[in-house]
Structure 1
Amino acid sequence: MEVANEALRQARFTGDREQLAAARLRRAQVLQFQGKLPEAASEMTAIAEEAATHEWTRIEAFARQHRGKVHFDQGDLVAALADFKAAVFLREKHGASADQLESSLTAVLIVESILDERHAAP
């Protein structure tokens, strides 16, 4: 967390808002990894909204992908699926690498599979 906070401070000094959003997103990932899921989701939501406003498609896709993971960890599969699908769309839009696109597509397939199993269970 100390490194993430320092990166955030450095990004603030540059004056580049897109780089600041990316640093905030990395810090939110640290919160996620620490198990502080509500805080991580809140920050990722703010970043996704800011990125959408400024058409920073790459950052928005990254925020949606990771917020989807937070929703998944919280057991909110419907919200996770929505974020993963949005990440697929955004990554296709900005021409992301095949690995990034595959990551999002795999997440969609996994969540859809779990939801299908739940709906099929008696």
Structure 2
Amino acid sequence: MSLIQGYDPDTLRERVNPRECEMRLDEIEGQRSLPALMERVWLLKVLDRLDDALPLSEEAVRQARMAGTRKDLLRARVLHATIMQCLGKYAAAEQELAHVASEAEGQGWAQVAAFAHQHHGKNAYDAGDYEQARESFKRSLFLRREAGADDRGLETALLAIEAAERRGAVEPVAI
């Protein structure tokens, strides 16, 4: 069961039930596996407990580097970058997400690359670069289609493209 109930059309952030997220966090608190560690990071992120999420995201990257697969490492790096994004460190997040997307595409891992491009777009969106956001979301959509994503996955990318286009049309471009 997914804890994501949808996405805010203006911020593109996940909509979750905080109580359910807290309950899930309590359930997995003692687990030390990489998937559990990454889930804890995500839960802390959506609960806006970024000071707790940042060191755990760094630990997830270390653990993935030492004991995970290359795909695990790329996913952990995306998660770490999303924490940086939430902290307003857009340049650091952009660099990390661009590297992950490039590496995943180079390996032919369309799902991982789509995930990285989607978050690259969200980072650009938060930073106010709506043109870059739109391009990243479009790349994510293309890769999701290539990987055979379901309608929900495609809809998420389409809604993000629409939001970036809407924001780009409203926000004046600095010259």
Please confirm whether the aligned pair reaches a TM-score higher than 0.5, indicating the same fold.
yes
Count of residue correspondences: 119
Unaligned runs of 5+ in 1: none
Unmatched runs of 5 consecutive residues or more in structure 2: 1-53
1:18 aligns with 2:76: no
Match of 2:166 in 1: 113
Aligned with 1:96: secondary structure? coil
Shift of 1:55: 0.8
**Deviations for 1:48-81, whole angstroms, at most 9, x for unmatched residues?**
1101110111111011111111111111111111
CA distance, structure 2, for counterparts of residue 75 and residue 12 of structure 1: 32
Which of 144, 152, 159 aligns to 1:91? It is 144
Amino acid paired to 1:84: F
Change (3 A) 1:118 1:35: closer
- Output the amino acid matched with 1:60: A
1:36-75 pair list within 5 angstroms: 36-75=89-128
Q: Which has the higher contact order (CA 8 A, sep 6+)?
A: 1
Question: Offset of 1:116 from its aligned partner?
Answer: 4.0
RMSD: 1.6
- Closer, same or farther in 2 for the Cα pair 1:115/1:51, shift >3 Å? same
Which residue identity does 1:11 align to in structure 2?
A
Q: CA deviation at 1:96?
A: 2.0
CA distance in 2, matches of 1:63, 1:100: 14
Question: For residues 118 and 73 of structure 1, what CA distance do their matches in structure 2 show?
Answer: 13
The structure with more radius of gyration: 2
What's the TM-score once normalised by structure 1's chain length? 0.89
TM-score normalised by L of structure 2: 0.63
Output the CA distance in 1 between the equivalents of 2:61 and 2:94: 18
Are residues 1:27 and 2:116 paired?
no
Bigger share in helix = 1
Query: Following the alignment from structure 2 to structure 1, what is the Cα–Cα distance between the partners of residues 90 and 168?
Result: 21
Query: How big is the shift at 1:22?
Result: 0.9
C-alpha separation in 2, matches of 1:48 and 1:92: 16
Q: 1:24 to 1:118 in 2, by over 3 A?
A: closer
CA distance in 1, matches of 2:150, 2:61: 26
Aligned AA for 1:76?
Answer: D
